[in-house]
Structure 1
Amino acid sequence: MKRTISAVLAAALLVVSTSSAIADCTDPASPDVNWRRCYLDGRDLRNVNLQGAMLRDATFLRAKLSGADLTGVDAYRAKFFSADLTGAKLDDARLIEADLTRAVLTDASLAGADLRNARFIDANLRNADFTGARVQGTHFRNADLTGATWVDGRTCAESSIGQCN
């Protein structure tokens, strides 16, 4: 009986040790970094390459991400409250239920991004590119979409607040 229990425990430890790495919030910014559930509030991440990073449930309160490459990140339920994402590249990013309240995304690219049920409340989205993005259930209350390229390729008119006119 003890041998059976020991064998089961050894097998379980082997499975755990060979599974994907646990997030290390002190890891430097790099492509494919695992920052799941990390607090990165106020970080200066300007112009970093985070392509394909795991950012699920991470928080970036007032973080500086201008010019960052976030192509293909998984940022499900991530929080970017008041973050600066000016000129950031979020193409094909998974931002389902992400919260970008009061974030600045001027000139950002979100082409092909999955933004379902995301929140862009009071966000600055001037000249952002949403070409091909999925926006079902997305909240744009008081968001400035002036000059943004909408999902269908048309340009939003001046004074497009809360919706693309």
Structure 2
Amino acid sequence: MPEPIEDVTYHDEDWYAEDLADRHFVGCTFHRVDLTEATSRGASFSACTFGDVRFNVSRHTDSAFTRCTFIRCNLFEAEFTGCKFVGSTFDRCDLRPLTVTGGDWSFVTLSGADLRGTRFTGVRMRETDLAGANLTGATVSGSDLSGVHWRAARLSGADLRGSDLTGLDPAVVQRAGTIVDVVQAMALAQALGFDVRG
């Protein structure tokens, strides 16, 4: 792996379609950097800050964005496969329509985020903060959602089948039309105090 790039600030740079494979950034700041259609495989960003960065239509595989902060970034049609975002925070970002497959998004802050129509499949999202997030029509399937902070989240029409909903209190979310499987339905009914019998 190349030597890490540490504590560098990048301003107003055009990295359109840049190949970021195996690059390693630590504590760097990216401000108004254009990463439209950029790709990464095995790249690592640790404790970096991204402000007004365009990730539009970018593709990332087996890369890590750990303990990073994303402020007013645009992730239109971005795709992340097998990536780690542990401990990262998204603040006023455009996240639609984001596609995430596999990887670890545990302890990520997405409170109040507009996640309508996004797709998270097979993702580890333990203790992620989704309080007040809008997941209307989103797909969050086959994922570990244990310990997620759900208060005031909007789940209308969201497909949660196959995900671990441990800790989801149906009374604190908007849930009309939320799609769940039979096992999940039983657990949610018990969470509401029902005595489920065969």
State the TM-score bracket (shorter-chain normalisation): 0.7 to 0.9
* Aligned with residue 23 of structure 1, among 37, 41, 45: 45
Runs of 4+ in 1 over 3 A off after TM superposition: 19-22, 24-29, 138-141
Q: Does the alignment pair 1:64 with 2:86?
A: no
Task: Provide the C-alpha distance between the structure 1 equivalents of 2:145 and 2:117, rounded to a whole number of angstroms.
Answer: 18
* Aligned with residue 150 of structure 1, among 180, 193, 197: 180
Which of 31-40 and 108-117 deviates more?
31-40
2:130 matched to which residue of 1?
A: 100
Tell which structure's C-alpha radius of gyration is larger: 1
1:125 matched to which residue of 2?
A: 155
**TM-score of the superposed pair, with normalisation by structure 2:** 0.62
Q: Does the alignment pair 1:91 with 2:121?
A: yes
Which of 105-114 and 44-53 deviates more?
44-53
Higher relative contact order (CA 8 A, sep 6+): 1
Unmatched runs of 5 consecutive residues or more in structure 2 = 4-23, 25-41, 186-190
Task: Provide the C-alpha distance between the structure 1 equivalents of 2:60 and 2:183, rounded to a whole number of angstroms.
Answer: 29
Higher strand share: 2
- Offset of 1:51 from its aligned partner? 2.2
Give me the CA root mean square deviation: 2.8
1:45 matched to which residue of 2?
A: 75
- Offset of 1:138 from its aligned partner? 3.3
* % identical equivalent positions: 25
Task: Provide the C-alpha distance between the structure 2 equivalents of 1:115 and 1:141, rounded to a whole number of angstroms.
Answer: 17
- Residue 60 of structure 1 aligns to a residue in which SS? strand
Unmatched runs of 5 consecutive residues or more in structure 1 = 1-12, 14-18, 156-161
**TM-score of the superposed pair, with normalisation by structure 1:** 0.73
2:18 matched to which residue of 1?
A: none
Task: Provide the C-alpha distance between the structure 1 equivalents of 2:95 and 2:173, rounded to a whole number of angstroms.
Answer: 19
